[in-house]
Amino acid sequence: MTKAIASSPRGLKQPQLSPLIGLIIGLAILLVCFLYSISLGAAEIPLAQILASFTSFDGSYNHLIVQTVRLPRSLMALLVGSSLAVSGALMQGLTRNPLADPGILGIEAGAALAVVATIFLFGSSTLSVLTLAALLGAAATAILVYFLGSLGRGGATPLNLTVAGAALTALISSLTTTILIISQQTLEEIRFWLAGSLAGRDTDILLQVLPFAGIGLIVAFALGRQITIVSLGEDVAKGLGQQTAWVKIITALSVVLLAGSSVALAGPIGFIGLLVPHIVRFYIPADYRWILPYCAVVGATLLLVADITARVLLKPQELPVGVMTALVGAPFFVYLAKSKVKK
């Protein structure tokens, strides 16, 4: 009797690999990328000195570079990449839309508008004020999108939320552009940040944002079973006893924390939340209890690699990391759109 072999929707055999082993391999790859990111910079620092800066810090020039410049940047890449990827997976599972990412609710656009408006109205602000502005902007946008989506027929359905998010994103982006046209000073201050960048950040802002992103990740991982059920469809989820309204609200809260924290740290970085969940679902087709941790690891690795590429491509100059993710993500977005049309 022949044994049936599970296949993906495209007819490809699923890798026969334990999810736990795959996650461990992913963490090992992430560690290698992390160490390489720390070793990369204008100053050539041997690996032995990099490791010594952690085990026996002596305040030397090389140790200071590692601890105050390279380490915070690499840690921020880990946090932002994992946050965007997990929030994208949550949105795709909740809306059952393969093209969804944190931008579908206008959260990144709302956070960016809040930061731009704060600088425009009050001048240069501290990083803590801008972080708070980004989180409040993301939260306000999410609430507004949910309210607008609830006004449509059938209430806050995935389709209504998607349409409301797309419309609000267009409006918010127009307002942001208007402010930047009016105020050249505001544009000069944040134009690199608007393109998505990990440069020029220190440990202080990382520590300020970490609690919000940490709570968002914990909530997301706790929602794995519920998102798996909701992704089967609204009627199926209700039939299995899911409180879908609460699942949507808590998921939206997690997405706000994750996307808002990411924008506060690095500006709006696109396509990580779109690309990574599709990569992960090739190995883990439907179980979000595994998809979400995988997304965190793969998202962090992908953004680290993108940041490394942005730093070496035009060395000694560097590109915003958002440019690199767009170069990879845009063709993939077109591929997804074409595949969806064919279906």
The 10s digit of each residue's pLDDT in 63-78 is 888 888 888 899 999 9
* Per-position b or e across 281-311, b if 16+ CB within 10 A of its CB: bebbeebbbbbbbbbbbbbbbbbbbbbbbbb
Share of the chain above pLDDT 70, in %: 90
Does residue 186 form part of some domain? Answer: yes
Does residue 47 form part of some domain? Answer: no
Least Cα distance to 301 among 81, 73, 69, 39 occurs for: 81
Q: What is the mean pLDDT of residues 210-238?
A: 89
Does residue 57 form part of some domain? Answer: no
Range of the domain at 78: 19-25+72-342
CA distance 12 to 14: 6
pLDDT band at 4 (very low <50, low <70, confident <90, very high): very low
Does residue 60 form part of some domain? Answer: no
3-state DSSP helix/strand/coil % of the chain, to nearest 5 = 75, 0, 25
pTM: 0.85
> In sequence order, what are the beta bridge partners of 13?
7
Does residue 209 form part of some domain? Answer: yes
Q: How many domains does the chain have?
A: 1
- Sign (positive/negative) of CA torsion 235, 240, 244, 250? negative
Predicted confidence (pLDDT) at residue 342 exceeds the cutoff of 70: no
Does residue 2 form part of some domain? Answer: no
The 10s digit of each residue's pLDDT in 259-299 is 989 988 888 888 899 899 999 998 888 889 999 999 999 99
CATH number at residue 326: 1.10.3470.10
